[in-house]
Chain A
């Protein structure tokens, strides 16, 4: 390739990269704004919005609600999704393709459609604004991510290893626990992280089924920004950005360690 075209290509790639990450990085300086406005570029420097996030109960309680919902959702979705992926993998029938497509639908159906349906059912069953309601809805949304991640692991898992374990004296359950599970664990972990993140920043369904008593962080961010231009939102955004980067980074490192064996 000639030098000019190489420079052009480099510039183009840089442009795309900036385009992808700019919105995220705009939030960071805004969170240190001295004035109470969501202006960019910011004016002056202060930590007050971070202080506000940790002291204002509206913010901290919604943060912990989100944390609780996302943690339980991630665990339930990982268990159910792993079992589903395992079942689909071992199914001999051609129906497994149809079943798989069915289990993935929450990922493709528009969120508003799901939210309306869930809201209608929750009104009757008094699940609006409850922990159970949030976990149920979010688990349904998160299961496809777990199925996809675990299925990918099972795809490369050598089933002959289970046969070998059986010949060495392991029952099917023991073989699963000691051989299959450790080998698909990286897939389960990445499914768990995806499930956590799916629940943690889910807003559409949450807006419908929220109540003054149980509000998740995205709902709090949304209502805060529609009410006034509180830069606490930017501080929250920065914290979330840092935390998710760390979690995903850790996941990638663990994944690559496993992959080397």
Chain B
């Protein structure tokens, strides 16, 4: 066991595949996780994120590829010898043991007994603020309390790596948000490497140092939340992280510029697709502006006419859904001081070409979004 202080283990996943017959649950996945990093595996269900977690934990063996934890290959090492903490979505507390005995369980297996065991159980329960519940049975606790106990149990033996599989998936929103902050605090306190699986992009943005976006058994992109939001590498990533507007239409490339025809109106941006494919434009809600038809705008801005389909007041501003001439929908967010528009009103949608992200169209980006 690593001494405290240098507790986080690096993880190196190289070209790992997992096949079930003809179906590839993981298709040539490579991922490096730094010691002490909070890495989130994000993706829709069936995208391979949980399979990746199970492979690291040792619940599933890889079909091919290399897997190292803390610089040591763990391919073929059974799960119980990997010394990795795991927190499950359904808590998985032992119902026949009290909270204290649940937390002591991994210590007992490691031959730690007596006062030392008691001290560490107390310390772990203290970390999750559950010290007073040691004598209770899991069935006497709420979901949030059970998950905190599970967290104490998964960290009490000082594993260099903690895996969490949608741990907040079964909890309501308020509790989830509070526990996200608790998990962040515990990550800071322990210095352990955290690998967190979720399908909730907001949760991923709140928690992670970096996020790996999974789709159909592959990693689409790895980066910080900001990188994924500002510079999505694929249409799938762009749609999965945050709100977005996708503009599709017949494309024309001339010189260094790509133009799309949206229901008879042209929009253009500098650059062209490097690897071919049908170009589409992705725009973030705050990069779009609304104006009354005919109102003057800055030069060089793209202009599309549409109609307000939905107007939502958010307190900190407003959110509009605008139906464009070709029937597609744009999502616009405006600040408090911006002009306001009513549902049904004719508007012009404005954006600078430089704010449009040019990406290759991908039909699976829509299908797999759940």
One of B80, B83, B137 near A171 (C-beta < 8 A): B80
Check if A161 sits within 8 Å of B94, measured CB to CB: yes
A169 in contact with B96 (CB, 8 Å): no
Write out the residue numbers on chain B whose beta carbons fall within 8 Å of the beta carbon of A174.
80, 109
- Most A C-beta atoms less than 10 A away, residue of B57, B105, B137: B105
**A167 contacts which of B85, B90, B137 (Cβ < 8 Å)?**
B85
Decide if B95 is an interface residue (CB 8 Å cutoff). Answer: yes
Pick the residue among A163, A168, A172, A261 that contacts B106 (CB under 8 A): A168
Judge if A117 is at the interface, Cβ distance under 8 Å: no
**Residues 160-184 of A at the B interface (beta carbon under 8 Å):** 160-161, 163-172, 174-175, 178-179, 182-183
* B92: interface (CB < 8 Å): yes
Smallest CB separation, B111 vs chain A (Å): 10
Is B307 in the interface zone, CB < 8 Å from A?
A: no
| A119, B58: Cα distance in complex, Å | 53
A-B interface pairs (CB < 8 A), number: 62
Which of A169, A174, A178, A261 lies at the interface centre, i.e. has the most chain B CB atoms within 10 A of its CB? A169
Contacts of B154 in A (CB 8 A): 167-168
**Complex interface: chain A residues within 8 A of B78 (CB):** 166, 171
Q: Which of A138-189 contact B (CB under 8 A)?
A: 158, 160-161, 163-172, 174-175, 178-179, 182-183
Taken together as a complex, chains A and B put the C-alpha atoms of A160 and B84 apart, in Å, by 16
Task: Find out whether the CB atom of B157 lies under 8 angstroms from the CB atom of A169.
Answer: yes
Q: CB distance B157 to A183 under 8 Å?
A: no
B92 contact set on A, CB distance < 8 A: 158, 160-161, 163-164
Question: Given the known A-B contacts A168-B153, A183-B96, A261-B137, are A163 and B59 also in contact in the complex, defined by CB atoms under 8 Å?
Answer: yes
- Which A residues from 28 to 73 make CB contacts under 8 A with B? none
Q: Is the CB of A165 within 8 A of B90?
A: no
A214 to B104 CA separation, bound complex (whole angstroms)? 52
List which B254-295 residues lie within 8 A (CB) of chain A.
none
Residues of B within 8 A of A178 (CB): 105
When distances are taken between beta carbons in the complex, the residues of chain B under 8 Å from A160 are: 88, 90, 92
Query: A42 CA to B133 CA in the complex, in Å?
Result: 61
CB neighbours (8 Å) of A163 from chain B are: 59, 79, 88, 92
- Contact residues, A189-241 vs B (CB, 8 A): none
User: What's the minimum C-beta distance from A110 to chain B, rounded to whole angstroms?
Assistant: 41
CB distance from A157 to the nearest CB of B (A): 10
- Pick the residue among B58, B59, B96, B105 that contacts A261 (CB under 8 A): B96
What are the residues of chain A within 8 A of B173 when measuring CB–CB? none
Q: Which residues of B contact A166 (CB under 8 A)?
A: 58-59, 78-80
In the docked arrangement, what's the CA distance between A48 and B79, Å? 67
B86 within 8 A of A: yes
Nearest B residue (CB) for A163: B59
Kindly report which residue of chain A lies nearest to residue B163, judged by CB atoms. Answer: A167
Instruction: Tell me the count of chain A residues lying within 8 A, CB to CB, of chain B.
Output: 20
**Residue numbers in A under 8 Å from B105 (CB-CB):** 165, 168, 170, 178
A158 to B91, CA, bound (A): 11
Q: How large is the interface on B (under 10, 10 to 19, 20 to 34, 35 or more residues)?
A: 20 to 34
Query: B83: shortest Cβ distance to chain A, in Å?
Result: 7
- Bound-state CA distance A183–B96 (Å) is 7
Q: Is the CB of A164 within 8 A of B88?
A: yes
Cβ–Cβ < 8 Å partners of B137 in chain A: 261
Question: Measured between C-beta atoms, what is the minimum distance from B255 to chain A in Å?
Answer: 57
Residue A170 contacts which of B86, B95, B109, B153 (CB distance < 8 angstroms)? B109
Look across to chain B and name the residue whose beta carbon is closest to the beta carbon of A161. B92
Asked whether any CB of chain A lies closer than 8 Å to the CB of B174, the reply is no
> Is A168's CB under 8 angstroms from B96's CB?
no
Task: Return A90 CB to nearest CB of chain B, in Å.
Answer: 16
Within 8 A of A (CB), among B69-90: 78-81, 83-86, 88, 90
Please report the C-alpha to C-alpha distance between residue A179 and residue B108 in the assembled complex, in whole angstroms: 14
Whether B109 and A169, one on each chain, are in contact in the complex, defined by CB atoms closer than 8 angstroms, is yes
Distance of A130 Cα from B85 Cα, bound (Å): 55
* Chain A residue nearest to B138 in the complex (CB): A261
Q: How far is the CA of A175 from the CA of B78 in the complex (A)?
A: 13
Please name all residues of chain A whose beta carbon is closer than 8 Å to the beta carbon of B110 when the two chains form the complex. Answer: 169
Quote the shortest CB–CB distance from A210 to chain B (angstroms): 43
Chain B proximity of A228: nearest CB distance (Å): 54
Contacts of B364 in A (CB 8 A): none
Q: Are A167 and B139 in contact (CB under 8 A)?
A: no
Residue of B95, B110, B154, B157 with highest tally of chain A CB at under 10 A? B95
Q: Could you tell me the distance between the alpha carbons of A161 and B78 in the complex, rounded to whole angstroms?
A: 17
Docked pose: A261 CA to B137 CA in angstroms: 7
Distance between A24 CB and nearest chain B CB, rounded to angstroms: 36
> Which residues of chain B are near A183, meaning CB under 8 Å?
95-96
What is the distance, in angstroms, from A168's C-beta to the closest C-beta of chain B? 4
Partner of A179, one of B83, B84, B85, B94: B94
B84: which of A167, A171, A182, A261 is its contact (CB, 8 Å)?
Answer: A167
How far does the Cβ of A57 sit from chain B's closest Cβ, in whole Å?
46
- Chain B residues within an 8 Å CB radius of A261: 95-96, 137, 139
Q: Assuming A170-B109, A182-B96, A183-B95, what are 15 further A-B pairs, CB within 8 angstroms?
A: A160-B88, A164-B86, A164-B94, A165-B94, A166-B59, A166-B78, A167-B154, A168-B106, A168-B153, A169-B81, A170-B80, A172-B80, A174-B80, A179-B94, A261-B95
When A and B form their complex, which 7 residue pairs have the shortest distance between CB atoms, in order from nearest?
A164-B92, A167-B86, A168-B106, A169-B109, A166-B79, A182-B96, A166-B80
What are 25 contact pairs spanning A and B, CB under 8 A?
A158-B90, A160-B88, A160-B92, A163-B79, A163-B88, A163-B92, A164-B92, A165-B94, A166-B59, A166-B78, A167-B59, A167-B84, A167-B86, A167-B154, A168-B80, A168-B106, A168-B153, A168-B157, A169-B109, A169-B157, A170-B105, A171-B80, A174-B109, A182-B96, A261-B137
